[in-house]
């Protein structure tokens, strides 16, 4: 990729090159697509890490923890390269990605307590760090993922707290608002479920996007007696 002449530093171009396909798969929960993303080696390890992070999440969430572990091993290598280069910020960010991916591997292998512990650690670490100028925010917020994991484990009340905490930091995220609506409905907090369902529809109305099944769920919640 040639970023010569661009207003932003070259690293921003490489970051976007990796981030756009990763975000596109993860925001749609297209886990098989995420697992199939093609890694590209550049001179920016933190940009390369994005693809391996998405691949690891995709593999773990489609029941292939062994494949996910290979991408986690690559995240370790990239993290160590950043540490060797004395890049403390991106060392920390890639290590957060490693912890998140490792948590979903643990869940796929039936180690629920370890999975939640790893993901809580990642979310707490992410909360303590600022975003880089080359990024609009995390590829997939750790605390939002914690909410999703708690939903999978049938713990909606806890999940709702994590989604709401994510909203305070990363407002108007489609997947987060959807998760909050689902968690509230499952927890019996029907008024909150309606509020978040209405918010989801409002967010979606702002963009020209195809109809999504999440919006059908939101409409169902809103139409319930």
Measured CA angle at 183 (ends 146, 180), to 5 deg? 75
- Report the distance separating Cα 132 and Cα 111, nearest Å: 33
pLDDT of residue 9: 64
The pLDDT mean for the chain works out to 92
Residue 184 near residue 176 (C-beta atoms within 8 A): no
Which tokens go with 193? 């479920």
pLDDT of residue 3: 42
Residue 12 near residue 46 (C-beta atoms within 8 A): no
Spans of all domains in the chain: 10-140, 142-225
pLDDT of residue 133: 67
Q: If you average pLDDT over residues 37-62, what whole number do you get? A: 96
Query: Structure pTM?
Result: 0.90
**pLDDT band per the 50, 70, 90 thresholds, residue 212:** confident
Residue 117 near residue 81 (C-beta atoms within 8 A): no
Which of 39-48, 69-78, 212-221: highest mean pLDDT? 69-78
Say which range, 81-85, 161-165, 200-204, has the weakest mean pLDDT.
200-204
Which of 145 and 14 is assigned the larger pLDDT?
Answer: 145
Identify the three-state secondary structure at position 191: helix
Give yes or no on whether 10-140 and 142-225 have one common fold. Answer: yes
Q: If you average pLDDT over residues 174-179, what whole number do you get? A: 96
Which fold is adopted by the domain 142-225?
1.25.40
**pLDDT band per the 50, 70, 90 thresholds, residue 205:** confident
Identify the three-state secondary structure at position 139: coil
Residues ≥6 apart with Cβ < 8 Å to 216 = none
CATH top-level class of 10-140? mainly alpha
**pLDDT, tens only, 51-61:** 999 999 999 99
pLDDT of residue 4: 43
**pLDDT, tens only, 86-99:** 999 999 999 999 99
DSSP 8-state symbol, 207:
S
Whether the pLDDT of residue 221 is over 80: the answer is yes
Which tokens go with 136? 């609009």
Residues ≥6 apart with Cβ < 8 Å to 62 = 31, 32, 35
């Amino acid at each position: 990729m040639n970023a010569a002449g661009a207003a932003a530093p070259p690293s921003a171009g490489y970051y976007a090159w990796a981030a756009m396909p990763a975000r596109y798969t993860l925001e749609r929960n297209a886990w098989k697509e995420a697992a199939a993303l093609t890694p590209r080696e550049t001179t920016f390890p933190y940009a390369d890490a994005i693809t391996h992070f998405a691949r690891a999440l995709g593999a773990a969430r489609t029941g292939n923890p062994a494949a996910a572990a290979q991408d986690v091993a690559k995240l370790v290598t990239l993290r160590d390269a950043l540490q060797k280069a004395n890049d403390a910020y991106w060392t920390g960010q890639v290590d957060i990605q490693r912890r998140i991916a490792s948590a979903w591997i643990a869940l796929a292998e039936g180690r629920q307590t370890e999975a939640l512990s790893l993901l809580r650690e990642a979310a707490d670490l992410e909360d303590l760090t600022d975003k880089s100028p080359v990024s609009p925010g995390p590829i997939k917020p750790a605390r939002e993922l914690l909410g999703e994991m708690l939903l999978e484990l049938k713990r909606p009340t806890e999940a709702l707290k994590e989604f709401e905490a994510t909203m305070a930091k990363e407002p108007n995220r489609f997947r987060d608002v959807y998760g909050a609506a689902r968690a509230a409905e499952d927890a019996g907090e029907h008024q909150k479920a309606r509020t978040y369902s209405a918010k989801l529809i409002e967010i979606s109305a702002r963009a020209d996007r195809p109809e999504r099944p999440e919006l059908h769920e939101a409409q169902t919640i809103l139409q319930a007696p």
